[in-house]
Structure 1
Amino acid sequence: MTTSNPSTAIYWQFGSRTVDFAAPRVMGILNVTPDSFFAASRQQDIDAALRKAGQFLDEGATFIDVGAYSSRPGADDIAPAEELRRLIPVIEALSKHFPEAILSADTFRAAVAREAVAAGAHLVNDIGGGILDPAMFDTVAGLKVPYILMHMRGTPQTMKTHTGYNDMLTEMDAFFSAQVEALLEKGVKDVCIDVGFGFAKTITQNYTLLRSMHRFQEFGLPLLAGLSRKSMAWKPLGIKADEALNATTVLHTLALQQGASILRVHDVREAVECIRISELYTG
């Protein structure tokens, strides 16, 4: 299922469908959790998930990222069995109703990733970056699917206490260097880097990271920007997440200028429009 050569064109192969990153792509967020930070993203039953997924595809999403474990700061930990109970029926239904869709399983647990791919997922989005579950890299290598590698310190429950860095960007560079090398050694070549906005980073650190996101292009891999309606968009403005679409679009524009290959978003149509206008600007 995978083919890419970071030294030339970057692309991922899903059966007969090729996804190249010559132009940025949009990943729609489909949460099957009761407590994700943005209430409008929560889909509490399969029918609602199918409607939202259909909307995302109509609006131009390349990927649909399905998550059953809330990673908002301080979110409750849930058992793997509960994550599977929420996740697997939705992936099965999406795979059946939208066979053309490219489905991402948002999980840091190797066992959940394995079941999700068996149910129809095409790639794994791991907020744990291979740290929260040491079995993840071997699992992804065995599944032969693309992998999104995110930077985070601690866990969703503790990450707010892990924002003390001597040199955040240098430490992140070392993290990605080590993890990408480990993945390549196991034969995982289709890797995307997610710098992890909001994960063990203060608002000020998030903006430092956004200004410097381009430096991670040195790995020759796609870059994912997960900025949609996060606190860095709404807290400085004194508004709430459900009022932060305009601010999110500004952040997406800046991320595209910094080399983002994937925008992971709650609002697909607006993100697609952002990419199109940005492409007109850059020519």
Structure 2
Amino acid sequence: MGILNITPDSFSDGGQFNNESDALHQIRKMIQEGAAIIDIGAQSTRPNAQLLSAAEEILRIGNLISNIKKEFPEILISLDTFYSETVQFGFNEGIDLVNDISGGMFDDKMFEIVANTGLPYVLMHINSTYESMHEKLIHDDIILNINYYFSEKIQKLRSLGIKDIILDPGFGFGKTVEQNHQMIDELDAISFGEYPLLIGISRKSFIYKPLRKSPLDIQEETQKLHLKVLEKGAKILRVHDVLATKKTIDIFLGK
């Protein structure tokens, strides 16, 4: 899953792809490098980012989704949003997947709209409010906490008829460096193998800050961790660096 941030303020690539021609050029590059899914985000979720409304997200996305579908009909499009209104817009434009960092907690209509669209849904583990999403609030065992959260949310999703569920443990969102590494070490215990896992560790601070490096200078360390999560059952890797990750996946698959 290649990341396309159409934002001016994302932490490592803000402003690079927030016009349509640059975005389409980057998508072409990611597809050529091996991306199977493009994850479009109109809103930065880094600490202290500006909060956009659903209307602002939709305005920022514009015709991009429908134009991607015309130019690259084979690619799957994931929409990274926590607004039900943006999901409905994306569905009308042709998205294939909803990637919601909020677990339905930032918009109480999210689960209902996803159920109505019939789209697959990425359920991420996160603190319960937008304001607290980066606070380190979990003091019990992180794996137990994540599994309890997922079991509760999955029950709600399934009760609404949403069965195509992908789980994202939420690396970097309100977890300590130690908790992030525990999640990697014990990844095979998350969700008990019942649902596919999406892993997003690309350019995350729990990797680069302890090393005193920049987010753009941890390629080798990230790929080692990507290989580790693949060995522990990860099914989708959400990444900025598609080519390097595709090489790691090929190594894992023995190609």
Same fold at TM > 0.5: yes
CA–CA distance in 1 between the matches of 2:23 and 2:138? Answer: 38
Q: What is residue 220 of structure 1 aligned with on the other side?
A: 194
Q: What is residue 14 of structure 1 aligned with on the other side?
A: none
Residues 188-223 of structure 1: per-residue CA shift (max 9 Å, x gap): 111100000001111111111111111124251110
Aligned CA RMSD, in angstroms, stands at: 1.6
Q: What letter matches 1:125 in structure 2?
A: N
CA contact (8 A) 2:43 2:81 kept: yes
SS at match of 2:243: helix
CA–CA distance in 2 between the matches of 1:248 and 1:68? Answer: 24
CA–CA distance in 1 between the matches of 2:186 and 2:16? Answer: 31
Tell me the TM-score normalized by structure 2.
Answer: 0.95
Q: What is residue 124 of structure 1 aligned with on the other side?
A: 98
Residues 105-161 of structure 1: per-residue CA shift (max 9 Å, x gap): 000111111101111211100000111112111111110111100000044543232
Q: What letter matches 2:203 in structure 1?
A: R
CA contact (8 A) 1:74 1:157 kept: no
Q: What is residue 183 of structure 2 aligned with on the other side?
A: 209
CA–CA distance in 2 between the matches of 1:277 and 1:183? Answer: 35
Pick the aligned partner of 1:137 from 99, 105, 111: 111
Pick the aligned partner of 2:235 from 256, 261, 276: 261
Q: What is residue 89 of structure 2 aligned with on the other side?
A: 115
CA–CA distance in 1 between the matches of 2:112 and 2:134? Answer: 29
* 2:32 matches 1:58: yes
Instruction: Give the 5 Å matches for 1:1-283.
Output: 27-39=1-13, 42-280=16-254
CA–CA distance in 2 between the matches of 1:232 and 1:120? Answer: 34
Q: Compute the displacement of 1:74 (Å).
A: 2.0
Alpha-carbon spacing, 1:192–1:41, altered in 2? closer, same or farther (3 Å): farther
Q: Compute the displacement of 1:255 (Å).
A: 1.0
Alpha-carbon spacing, 1:199–1:176, altered in 2? closer, same or farther (3 Å): same
Alpha-carbon spacing, 1:41–1:59, altered in 2? closer, same or farther (3 Å): farther
Q: What is residue 3 of structure 1 aligned with on the other side?
A: none
Residues 72-113 of structure 1: per-residue CA shift (max 9 Å, x gap): 122111122111111242212211211111100000111111
Q: What letter matches 1:268 in structure 2?
A: V
Alpha-carbon spacing, 1:55–1:232, altered in 2? closer, same or farther (3 Å): same
Q: What letter matches 2:80 in structure 1?
A: D
Gaps of 5+ in 1: 1-26
Q: What is residue 13 of structure 1 aligned with on the other side?
A: none
CA–CA distance in 2 between the matches of 1:224 and 1:122? Answer: 15
Q: What letter matches 2:67 in structure 1?
A: A
CA contact (8 A) 1:56 1:268 kept: yes
Alpha-carbon spacing, 1:245–1:28, altered in 2? closer, same or farther (3 Å): same
Tell me the TM-score normalized by structure 1.
Answer: 0.86
SS at match of 2:238: strand
SS at match of 1:265: coil
Q: What is residue 6 of structure 1 aligned with on the other side?
A: none
CA–CA distance in 2 between the matches of 1:189 and 1:215? Answer: 21
CA–CA distance in 2 between the matches of 1:103 and 1:142? Answer: 18
Identity %: 38
CA contact (8 A) 2:136 2:176 kept: no
SS at match of 1:161: coil
SS at match of 1:233: helix
CA–CA distance in 2 between the matches of 1:163 and 1:276? Answer: 37
SS at match of 1:160: coil
Q: What letter matches 2:245 in structure 1?
A: A
Gaps of 5+ in 2: none
Residues 13-36 of structure 1: per-residue CA shift (max 9 Å, x gap): xxxxxxxxxxxxxx0000000111
